[in-house]
Structure 1
Amino acid sequence: MSVRQAPTYQQGAPQRSMDDDSDVEEEALANDYREQVGYENNGDDYGIEGGAMGANMQDLQAQLQAAATPLEYQATLETKIQSYDSYCNLFHYILNSEGPVDIEVPSYFWAWDVIDEFIYQFNSFCSYRQKLALTQSTSGNEGDLVVLRENPNTWGCYSVLNVLYSLIQRSQISEQLAARKRGEDPAPYAGDYGSRSLYQMLGYFSIIGLLRVHCLLGDFSLALKTLDDIELNKKAMFARVMAANFTTYYYVGFSYMMMHRYADALRAFNHILIYVSRTKNFQKNAQYDSITKKNDQMYALVAICVAFHPTRLDDTIHTALREKYGEQLTRMQRGGPEALPIFEELFRTACPKFISPTPPDFDNPSVNVDPIEHQLSIFMEEVKNNMWAPTVRSYLKLYTTMDLTKLAGFLEVDADTLRGWLLVNKQRSRQMRHSEGGLLEGDVVNSNDLDYAMQGDLIHVSEAKVGRRLVDWYLRNLARTY
């Protein structure tokens, strides 16, 4: 996912954990946005004041401007390779100069757009190369095939990751963010490079870039691990740039979804979708149009997560979800074989353009694996494992004790198959839910209001939350007594 245009940024709002389900902060942020954005653009986002700078500095300004400018959609392969070389030269100069480059960056927007465009071009190039390798016999692009064979390291995964990690290391941004989380002054940890806004901003958004790249490569746990030093709140720098804000929560939510942590995924999606819905009337048409498609994709992911983990949504999100995917959501929640094509369709619609960490083998096309198809197959295995969960659950709600063979007869399957379904469903009902600390941390909770245990061929069913409800009832009546 790439949101390539960003609106004027807003200031931060009070800090809040991602696990806070209330929408108070989104409302405060939207109000603050209304006051500060307006409808007119306040100057050129990328304007760098030059003055009496030398020729070399002016050339650097031109490179900085070009790095944040989107490449034309119909750009030739040679142009894409030249763009890669330009990025390499720019980052080499910034990272390997004798001292820190003494230039002020234009804004948060510029720093985000440089990293965003860098990764967007990397993703697009890899996707095109992979597609060409899979369809080279029918593509008709013999010239591009020759060029790609001669340039196997262009837009290489290692090179892109090396740039992002190097910017983070040079800027000492992780140490600065960790110091802020501890309530300390980050200045002593910044060093000569990290105290400069050029390195600080590029290093910061490189962390968001790593989240995105690791997710594109299919390493979802490492993607979330990269955000250990960034707090997901409105005072964070990424929250000041709409495109960065949207992108961050998309990849956090998608990574959670692929790790079967549906409650955490829904919380991430819900948070950003509420914000977008409350600020859409205050955004310029061109800027808002750039995230409309991505917004719809996120709703498709919400539908998938709700099908796996039924939960109450914000009224705004619930209404929009029913309008966009009402019929599909109903069929997915019903389960069964007829739900499989819907899950597949929504996943294809909403997933990132996954890439392979290595260049394809042009000489042996049959050994190349389509990364999107690979991730889809993993996802669909999860869907198939839970395909009968809604049907099984509907039967279990009618009994407190039931014979396994009898239930298997209702479902027209053998007892061993049903036992496997029950074990999978039991396991999936225990999900890790984030409360504090890193995004990978959390507490194991029961995500289902129905619990059961198997003893031989008997299934004992109970209401998972009955204990809590009895306590709540007792406390309410106790308060009335006094």
Structure 2
Amino acid sequence: MASSYEYDDPSYDSRSYPPSSSQASDQGYDPNFVPDSVKTFVVHLYRHIREKNVYEIHQMYEGSFQRLSDRMFRESPWPSVEAVAPYVDNDHVFCLLYREMWFRHVYARLSPTGRQRVESWDNYCSLFGVVLHGVVNMQLPNQWLWDMVDEFVYQFQSHCQYRAKLKNKTEEELQLLRQYGQAWNVYGVLNFLQALVEKSMIHQILEREKEGLEQFTATDGYDYEGGSNVLKMLGYYSMIGLLRVHCLLGDYSTGLKCLAPIDISQQGVYTVVIGSYISSIYHYGFANLMLRRYVEAICEFNKILLYILKYKQYHQKSPQYDQILKKNEQMYALLAICLSLCPQTKLVEENVSAQLKDKYNEKMLKMQRYDDEAFAVYDELFSYACPKFITPSAPVLEEPLTNYNQDAYRLQLKLFLYEVKQQQLLAAVRSFLNLYSTISVGKLAAYMEVDEPTLRTNLMAYKHKMHSVDSDGKIIPNADVEFYINEDVIHVVEPKSIKRYGDYFLRQILKFEEMISELDRVKLD
């Protein structure tokens, strides 16, 4: 199959990856035993990849692999790559793909050892090396290619958390960390993702698509002229992976710049795979929240939550279903935070608003008070919904050994709560401004029981906190109440209400379609 990929590399050498000692010593697990069902699986998958049969590859990847894992490998790894290599002509690239799935299974269902973490890094280096430096001539399902990038970033995050928990590490684990200090290095991870973006020329492809010179979205990224979608789609998904990595590092502006070539306001290839869609909007919305771009965050959270509300039942059999539900709950928590800091409720669709009230109405009322109880709720929701922040630097492996895996999270929480505290007086300003069209500064100061200089400071703080800077350097408003001061008189600008007839008619159309489908199922005597 190496010739099928047009990649001049030697066939898979089983000596290059010796099984880890812990893997080989698992009771009841023989890494060299290959059940007949696994032989059939790898032979058929190998053949379908050679034939570029994307439909069958997807069925085996999403269906057969999961069913075999549930039935035969619920508490053990799959057979080692050395054992299955003879059944696939010792094909180097297929063995790398199999090993990628092997490690993903270990991470999902078991607890990877330190050596397995290092071996997984080596495998990704080899796999991405083939894609970047070879001529890969195969088509893989978008779901698999997205999972590769997503798992790559997840394992990086997991390793950073693992190496930051030093307190109960054994001497063998510490020695592995010393010996393989470059494994899952933050620069290596970022370099691979950036290299995939650049080598794929995905930025240029998306630009050409805007000019009508390229069919990328229309074909969902596939190449129907006999080419390969692998490099192109890995580059595309790597932009989302870069956004996620930068969010984990707390560098939100850079993360949004990495995603900028994708028009997040439109349907696109990123919406085809639901995991890609949810990850994009979750991290995009969270980054905007931390940059005080509340309106943008609210709009995108509303869009994805409405999508999940309508279509989640179609993904119940998907391996990603539990993750979809978890991210759904986290984004409702983030939406509650956004609306508490910037009450733009008119931006939220009716069904999403109803779900939000069921989940967080009581907590949102508490957050409006800005007392100690309110800060506790902000703390709780942020801690539940935020990404698992990481410290990218390698640990100092010297006594006394301590855990510092929570340091990055505590820092981001501290910065967030500091921002909330700065806005604690804005709720009072907002409530008074909602009552008047014009009011003198002195009169409002008396009502709020502060002096005029303090009130002016609070009004300036409101203006500052309710405006932010977008990625192009333009100032964008987030305020639900706009005002200006002329000769010591505050003039409140009446907001223009936008009547959304489209939403109403869409809801009625959906209701009638449901009624018609129910009537069609009724059997008349």
Normalised to the residue count of structure 2, the TM-score between the two structures is 0.69
Distance in structure 2 (CA, Å) of the matches to 1:150 and 1:62: 26
Distance in structure 1 (CA, Å) of the matches to 2:228 and 2:100: 19
Provide Cα deviations, 1:337-388, integer angstroms capped at 9, x if missing partner.
4311111111111011111232233448789681111111111111011012
Once the two structures are TM-superposed, the CA of residue 209 in structure 1 deviates from its matched residue by 0.9
Report if the CA contact (8 A) 2:285-2:297 is conserved.
yes
User: Counterpart in 1 of 2:30?
Assistant: none
Change (3 A) 1:454 1:303: farther
2:208 is equivalent to residue 179 of structure 1? yes
Provide Cα deviations, 1:191-226, integer angstroms capped at 9, x if missing partner.
xxx963121111111111111111111111111111
2:440 is equivalent to residue 407 of structure 1? no
Provide Cα deviations, 1:120-157, integer angstroms capped at 9, x if missing partner.
10011112222x14xx2xx3545433432333221000
Provide Cα deviations, 1:151-180, integer angstroms capped at 9, x if missing partner.
322100001111111112222122111111
Work out which of the residue numbers 453, 461, 468 in structure 1 matches 2:490. Answer: 461
Once the two structures are TM-superposed, the CA of residue 76 in structure 1 deviates from its matched residue by 1.4
Provide Cα deviations, 1:403-446, integer angstroms capped at 9, x if missing partner.
569837845x677655543321121223457xxxxx65766336
User: Counterpart in 1 of 2:195?
Assistant: 166
Work out which of the residue numbers 67, 91, 96 in structure 1 matches 2:128. Answer: 91
Counting aligned pairs with the same residue, the percent is 34
Provide Cα deviations, 1:449-475, integer angstroms capped at 9, x if missing partner.
2425387xx5x3222236x58xxxxxx
Unaligned runs of 5+ in 2: 1-56, 65-86, 217-221, 498-525
Q: AA paired with 1:167?
A: L
Change (3 A) 1:431 1:448: farther
- What SS does structure 2 have at the residue aligned with 1:153? coil
Provide Cα deviations, 1:18-54, integer angstroms capped at 9, x if missing partner.
xxxxxxxxxxxxxxxxxxxxxxx97213699xxxx98
Work out which of the residue numbers 360, 380, 391 in structure 1 matches 2:417. Answer: 380
Q: AA paired with 1:152?
A: G
2:322 is equivalent to residue 289 of structure 1? yes
Report if the CA contact (8 A) 1:105-1:111 is conserved.
no
User: Counterpart in 1 of 2:304?
Assistant: 272
For this pair of structures, how many residues does the alignment match?
404
User: Counterpart in 1 of 2:392?
Assistant: 357
User: Counterpart in 1 of 2:140?
Assistant: 106
> Could you say which structure has the greater relative contact order, defined with CA pairs below 8 angstroms and 6 or more residues apart?
1
Change (3 A) 1:143 1:283: same
- What SS does structure 2 have at the residue aligned with 1:461? strand
User: Counterpart in 1 of 2:514?
Assistant: none
Within-5 A mapping of 1:143-154: 143-154=172-183
Report if the CA contact (8 A) 1:87-1:118 is conserved.
yes
User: Counterpart in 2 of 1:20?
Assistant: none
Q: AA paired with 1:334?
A: R
Query: Rg larger in 1 or in 2?
Result: 2
User: Counterpart in 2 of 1:263?
Assistant: 295
Change (3 A) 1:67 1:440: farther
Q: Which range is displaced more, 369-378 or 62-71?
A: 62-71
Change (3 A) 1:358 1:327: same
Distance in structure 2 (CA, Å) of the matches to 1:206 and 1:166: 9
2:359 is equivalent to residue 327 of structure 1? no
Change (3 A) 1:462 1:414: closer
Normalised to the residue count of structure 1, the TM-score between the two structures is 0.75
2:72 is equivalent to residue 43 of structure 1? no
Change (3 A) 1:415 1:182: same
Provide Cα deviations, 1:218-274, integer angstroms capped at 9, x if missing partner.
111111111222222665222110100110111111111111000000111111111
Taking only aligned residues, the RMSD between alpha carbons, in angstroms, comes to 3.4
Report if the CA contact (8 A) 1:238-1:244 is conserved.
yes
Distance in structure 1 (CA, Å) of the matches to 2:214 and 2:124: 33
Work out which of the residue numbers 254, 279, 301 in structure 1 matches 2:286. Answer: 254
Provide Cα deviations, 1:269-294, integer angstroms capped at 9, x if missing partner.
11111111101222224542231111
Work out which of the residue numbers 112, 116, 122 in structure 1 matches 2:150. Answer: 116
Distance in structure 2 (CA, Å) of the matches to 1:371 and 1:236: 33
Unaligned runs of 5+ in 1: 1-40, 434-438, 470-482
Once the two structures are TM-superposed, the CA of residue 298 in structure 1 deviates from its matched residue by 0.6
Q: AA paired with 1:390?
A: A
User: Counterpart in 2 of 1:63?
Assistant: 96
2:416 is equivalent to residue 343 of structure 1? no
- What SS does structure 2 have at the residue aligned with 1:148? helix
Change (3 A) 1:78 1:366: closer
Distance in structure 1 (CA, Å) of the matches to 2:171 and 2:485: 61
Work out which of the residue numbers 269, 276, 283 in structure 2 matches 1:237. Answer: 269
Distance in structure 2 (CA, Å) of the matches to 1:200 and 1:260: 33
Report if the CA contact (8 A) 1:386-1:421 is conserved.
no
Report if the CA contact (8 A) 1:262-1:309 is conserved.
yes
Work out which of the residue numbers 70, 74, 94 in structure 1 matches 2:111. Answer: 74
